[in-house]
Structure 1
Amino acid sequence: MTDNKPRLILVNSAIFALTFLTALIAVPLYGLWQGYQSEALWVALLFWAWSGLSITAGYHRLWSHKAYSTHPVVQWVLAIGGAMAMQNSILHWASDHRRHHKHVDDNERDPYSAGRGFWYSHIGWMLREYQQVTPDIYNNVRDLQKNPIVMNQHNHYGKWVFATNIALPAFIGWLTGDILGMLLLAGVLRLVLVHHGTFFINSLAHIWGSQPYSDKHSSRDNGFIALATFGEGYHNFHHTFEYDYRNGIRWWHFDPTKWLIRGLAKLGLAKDLRRVPTERIESARLAMQLQSSQRLLAEHHSASEWLAKLEEEYERLLAELQRYYGEKQRQLKLHKHELDRSTRARLNELRQTFQQQKRQWQALRAQLHAQVA
Structure 2
Amino acid sequence: MSSRIHAFVFLCLRLTLSLVLAVSLMPSPASAGSLSANTVAKVQRAITFQQQNKWQEARAVLEGMPTANLYPAKNYDAAFVHRMLGSLYWQLEEPNKAIKALRSAVDSHELEQSAQRSAQRMLADILLSQARYDEALTRYYSLTADKPQASSDQSVLTKELADIWLRIAQAHYQNQQAKQALRAVEKHLSLTAAKVSSLSLKLGAQITLKHWKGSIMTLKQLLRLEPTNKTWWLQLAGSYQQLNQPAKMLNTLVLATREGIKLSSSEKKMMAQLYAQQGVPEKAAALMHELNADEAKAGSLAIEASYWHKAKEWENAMASWQRAAEKDNQYRLALAQLQLQRGLYRDALVNFALVTEQNQEAPVALAQAMAYAKLGDLDNALQHAKRAHEIEPTAQSESWIQYLSH
TM range (shorter): under 0.3
Higher helix share: 2
Structure scoring higher RCO (CA < 8 A, sep ≥ 6) equals 1
Bigger Rg over Cα: 2
Given the two structures, how large is their TM-score scaled by the length of structure 2?
A: 0.22
